[in-house]
C-alpha cells in the first residue's frame, strides 16, 4: 500500500476509534434500554409485516386497489354518517373480490413490489400508512 493510502487508512481508523470511544464513554443505561426497545419494536414490526397474514392482506389490497382508489376518494366527499354503510359494503366487496383473485393467482410478493405499489398507487399508500401507524401505536408507543 502506498504511504499516502496507509496514512489515510490510519487517519480513518483513528477518527473512527475516537468516535467510538467518545460514544461509549457518553452512553447511558437508559439510552441502551431505549435502543433495545427500538430494536425490539423494529423486529416486531418487521415480523408482523412479513407474516403470512399481512403478506396475503397486502396482496389482497394490491388486487383491490383499482377499485379502492376511487372509493377512498369518495370518502372525503361524504358528510358524517351519510352513505357510510353503503361505502363500507362496497369496500368490503372490493377486498373480497381482490382476495378471491389472489387465491386464484397466488404469487410471491416482494419488498420491491411493495415499494413500487406504494409509489404508484395512492390507495395502497394510504392503506400501508394506516397499517404502519397501527403497528407503531401497538409496539412503539405503548408503555413498556
Partner 1 sequence: MKRLVIVGAGTGGLMVANFVARDLSREIAHGEISVTLLGDKDEYIYQPGFLYVVFDLMRPAQLIRPIKELLAPGIEFVHDRAVRIDPEGKVVERAGGEALHYDYLVLATGSGLNLQEVPGLSEGGHWFYTLEGALQLRDELRRFQGGRVVLTVGVPHKCPVAPLEFTMMFDEWARVRGIREQTEIVYTYPLGRTHSIPSVAEWAQPELEHRGVRVETFFNMESVEPEKKVVHSLEGTDVAYDVLVAIPPHRGDELGAVSGLAEAGNWYPTDRNRLNLNGRDDIFVLGDATNLPVSKAGSVAHFEAEVLADNLVGLLTEGSPPAYQYNGRAFCFIETGLERATFISFDYLNPPKVPQPTNAVHWFKQTYNRIHWANLKAVM
Which listed residue (2, 3, 5, 26) binds partner 1 by CB under 8 A?
A: 26
**Applying CB under 8 A, which part among 17-25, 49-57, 60-68, 128-136 lies near partner 1?**
17-25
Name the minimum Å distance from CB 129 to partner 1: 22
How buried is residue 144: exposed, middle or buried, by Cβ count under 10 Å (0-12/13-18/19+)? exposed
Which listed residue (7, 8, 9, 22) binds partner 1 by CB under 8 A?
A: 22
Name the minimum Å distance from CB 15 to partner 1: 4
Which listed residue (10, 14, 47, 74) binds partner 1 by CB under 8 A?
A: 14
Indicate whether 9 belongs to the interface with partner 1 (CB under 8 A): no
**Applying CB under 8 A, which part among 21-29, 41-49, 110-118, 126-134 lies near partner 1?**
21-29
The full DSSP string for the chain is: --HHHHHHHHHHHHHHHHHHHHHHHH--HHHHHHHHHHHHHHHHHHHHHTSHHHHHHHHHHHHHHHHHHHHHHHHHHPPSSTTHHHHHHHHHHHHHHHHHHHHHS-----HHHHHHHHHH-HHHHHHHHHHHHHHIIIIISS--
Indicate whether 6 belongs to the interface with partner 1 (CB under 8 A): no
Indicate whether 23 belongs to the interface with partner 1 (CB under 8 A): yes
- Point out which residues bind partner 1 (CB under 8 A): 14-16, 18-19, 21-23, 25-26, 28-31, 34, 143
Amino acid at each position: 500500500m502506498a504511504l499516502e493510502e496507509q496514512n489515510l487508512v490510519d487517519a480513518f481508523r483513528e477518527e473512527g476509534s475516537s468516535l467510538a470511544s467518545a460514544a461509549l464513554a457518553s452512553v447511558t443505561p437508559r439510552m441502551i434500554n431505549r435502543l433495545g426497545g427500538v430494536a425490539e419494536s423494529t423486529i416486531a414490526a418487521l415480523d408482523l409485516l412479513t407474516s403470512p397474514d399481512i403478506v396475503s392482506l397486502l396482496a389482497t389490497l394490491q388486487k383491490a386497489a383499482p377499485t379502492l382508489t376511487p372509493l377512498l376518494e369518495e370518502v372525503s366527499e361524504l358528510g358524517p354518517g351519510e352513505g357510510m354503510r353503503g361505502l363500507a359494503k362496497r369496500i368490503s366487496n372490493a377486498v373480497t373480490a381482490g382476495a378471491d383473485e389472489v387465491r386464484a393467482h397466488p404469487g410471491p410478493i416482494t419488498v420491491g413490489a411493495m415499494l413500487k405499489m406504494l409509489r404508484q398507487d395512492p390507495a395502497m399508500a394510504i392503506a400501508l400508512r394506516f397499517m404502519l401507524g397501527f403497528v407503531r401505536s401497538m409496539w412503539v408507543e405503548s408503555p413498556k
